[in-house]
Amino acid sequence: MCGLLGLVCGSEDDAANARDAVGRALRCQRHRGPDETDTWANGEIVYGFNRLAIIDLEHSHQPLTWGPEENPTRYTINFNGEIYNYLELREELAKEHGAKFATEGDTEAIVAAYHYLGTAAVGRLRGMFAFLIWDSERKVLFGARDPFGIKPLYYASGPNGVAFASEKKSLLELTDTLGIAQELDRTALQHYLTLQYVPEPESLHQNIRRIESGTSFTVSPGGELKIERYFSPEFRAQPVSSPYGVATLHEKIAEVLRDSVAKHMRADVTVGSFLSGGIDSTAIAALAKEHNPNLITFTTGFEREGYSEVDVAAESAAAIGVKHVVRTVSAEEMMDTLPLIVWYLDDPVADPALVPLWFIAREARKYVKVVLSGEGSDELFGGYTIYREPLSLAPFEKVPGRVRKLIGKASTLIPEGTRGKDLLRRGALSLEERYYGNARLFRDDQLRPILRTFRDGIGHRDVTAPWYELSRGWDPVARMQHVDLFTWLRGDILVKADKVTMANSLELRVPFLDAEVFRVASTIPLDQKITKETTKFALRRALDGIVPAHVLNRRKLGFPVPIRHWLRAEMYDWARGIISDSKTDDLLDKRAILAMLQEHRDGTLDHSRRLWALLVFMLWHGIFVEHRIKPEVPEPQYPVKL
């Protein structure tokens, strides 16, 4: 787990001149790899690397050069992530192709697989990754990002070259070197305020984009970047016709999860686990305990009643038999730390849960270097409550289209906040129109008075339409899961998981987001995912006997944050100050936003999530555009407690 940086120049002289700039840009992501740092140049390529040593601590230094006997320095790789099947892959490459290795790590396995298998090697990697491989013989850079987008990879193209980095802030340091401007992307801003995150491949800077999950790419010096998709997930349910078949399905789920956790435990450092009060993290912790009897788990919460799973997590930890660490977060800590967290994020993510996650990651780093977590379970196994919406809206499907439109118009006459208004509004819409993920922040009618740069015709369907098109003929829940894999999961869930843990030099691993786990999960029939009573039905049955009974059928809560209450009290003056100080008048109507804040304080309407999105953006703008806010970035933290 590390931070990589790579620059492909048009000439060797350009590369030599850019090496110092790459070294400076590398410092912006030192938190991702404080154990080692290095730069490397060869021909038209310049690499920079920060290493967080997890496997083969004494070797596997990067950038790493490897090649066959006839040309042992042919390839040089820059790699961020972990390959969990690297032992099996190394053995296969040695046996079938005679590959030789100088280290005991997973990095050599990637580059050797590329040499012997070509671009198809990407499909053989079981893990999380973003990597660059320079082929000095062919003068081609090949790279890829993992299937689900666990590890980030940004890129920027300019007249002076193409650059790639694990963090966007490093590319912002290279804009002069590349010959590009730092311009705000106003379309991406409108998407952010609709979705609560910036969707891939966009970023809030026009000239910086992201390599999408499940894609690989090639670029030659002076040539164009060519990107291809190698992973296209499909949810193709396999009907289960008998109780015996159902039991077999549940056994397969338990078996593949146990195998995934076992492989995710591979490390030469201590591995811990996050633990909330839900089934996902509890299952991961329980299975991890089978491999590490001294497992430590970590949770966070708030003192306010109803916004903490600390007690449930503690009960789970006791039932599993693990040491448990709790970190409680106050409103004051959130206010003080949010600007720093936004700096780490690179682009705004308006998910309040990332703040307590930052604090528990910082606490966990005192004990361990790697943590397991339960991200991805909901998308793969049907865990979100909203996935049950097709059941509740089924009666609307029987209503003629003309009548449904009338119902939609009638819903606009109902006062905002009235119970049932949103049900009627959504029932009048098709799945493609109404579902674009879990966040659903500003609707167009709410955003138009706030965003001065609002443009009609820009909306969530720009983001979701391609993924709906690929899922035609699937059941509605499978289509929602498919959309979430390409939007909510990689735009919100995995961004905050990567950014706030790596901010604390902590590697986070997600065993649910495993190729073999997906292979099984993608076949689960609808009635084994969603019922009228529960979500993730098959997963819950599979985990019976693995997770404690008090968690098995418990409603998902996660790390909820009481911003609705705090923005009316402890955070009101703080929020008002951020809005007043922000230099975003050309983008936002600050008087309308202050009116929203007052309405929220008075209890007229609950604007908490929309206000939070605006506050996070204003902090981001103050840091990356105005350069008025300069968070004090701490030195990387190392374990102090055993």
Q: What was the pLDDT predicted at 284?
A: 98
Closest Cα to residue 18, out of 225, 221, 227, 224?
A: 221
Active site residue 2: yes
Q: Which of 2, 163, 364, 567 is catalytic?
A: 2
Looking at domain 243-383+489-552, its CATH superfamily turns out to be HUPs (3.40.50.620)
Please name the residues in contact with 241: beta carbons below 8 A apart, sequence gap of 6 or more: none
Per domain, the residue ranges of the chain are: 2-229, 243-383+489-552, 387-442+457-485
Q: What was the pLDDT predicted at 557?
A: 59
Please report, rounded to a whole number, the percentage of residues in the chain having pLDDT higher than 90.
83
Which residues does the chain have with pLDDT short of 70? 1, 244, 304-308, 555-559, 640-642
Residues 195, 144 contacting (CB under 8 angstroms): no
Q: What was the pLDDT predicted at 532?
A: 87
Q: What was the pLDDT predicted at 558?
A: 55
Q: What was the pLDDT predicted at 244?
A: 66
Q: What was the pLDDT predicted at 407?
A: 82
Q: What was the pLDDT predicted at 430?
A: 87
- Name the token pair of 597: 């804040």
Q: Is 382 annotated as a binding residue?
A: no
How many angstroms separate the CA atoms of 582 and 339, rounded? 13
Q: Is 13 annotated as a binding residue?
A: no
How many angstroms separate the CA atoms of 511 and 508, rounded? 10
DSSP secondary structure of 238-253: ----SHHHHHHHHHHH
2-229 CATH choice from 1.10.3720.10, 1.10.1740.10, 3.60.20.10, 3.40.50.970: 3.60.20.10
pLDDT tens-digit series, residues 266-297: 999 999 999 988 899 999 999 999 999 999 99
Please state the pTM of the whole predicted model. Answer: 0.95
Q: Is 378 annotated as a binding residue?
A: no
234 residue type, one letter: E
How many angstroms separate the CA atoms of 82 and 86, rounded? 9
Between CA 20 and CA 29, with CA 25 as vertex, the angle to 5 degrees is 140
How many angstroms separate the CA atoms of 345 and 354, rounded? 10
Q: What was the pLDDT predicted at 457?
A: 92
- Name the token pair of 451: 């965003």
In DSSP terms, which residues pair with 134 in a beta bridge? 76, 141
Q: What was the pLDDT predicted at 459?
A: 92
- Name the token pair of 564: 């609705």
